[in-house]
Structure 1
């Protein structure tokens, strides 16, 4: 696998080694030993999640203020524009974002360490999104930063208004959000 550092400390793009021929392809989507050796991150995942969303659905920007989750995310069908926002107040990149396409074609993954908000918008007709987390879902600690906060300035690839859940519509601006030390 190829590990690509991003401008945000700890946020990593993972490109797996894919073996393909006329029959299809095979790749190892996660190997704890190899992940630790090549990223320097030794994690234990406790929960796997799978979502399916239609084109234009935007989910995020989500995080848990306690029981913070590291996430390893990927798309198995379709494509999304995936975004992480640094919410670590002590970080020199606090409030900055990084985004990239994750798709069934490029098979890229994004390692999002605890301390970041995360979201994505579906750019294909639909997308199936999988992610592994380092802590359990804890609704009492779940928070959401509004997806279109001008203070963050995410450049979402949208054709019109996104489809949002009530929870995501109620997200708060970064200036009002609970953040990490």
Structure 2
């Protein structure tokens, strides 16, 4: 009986020590999107032009490892808000979209990166099948995900116009 109790206590101590193993490498921080440096583009209240391209310049950071990012551009004709910037832009009057521009693009980040400055050229088409897009207020939305699945978003109000 004494041997059986010793065996049970040994198993109990073994299970407790295995279950209490601490994993110190758990990532608990969200990544960061920084567009506060010189040369960053676009910024809140900037203008993009149909039929032209621009270079996306933002600095993406994470404490462990970056994953991927996406860019979404959609109309803000109804004045809804996802803007994460404190400065407000002047808005056109509310209107009903007829042919709004919409774009969602995903981008990968080379593995092992904790900082990554984007340098991607984004082309804004002039029209869709010959039909001009609606000019006006749009949102430019960046979403960043790290390797653990934490995410950060940055929303900016922009104008999209024809020259």
TM-score clears 0.5: no
Give the greater-gyration-radius structure (CA). 2
TM-score by length of 1: 0.27
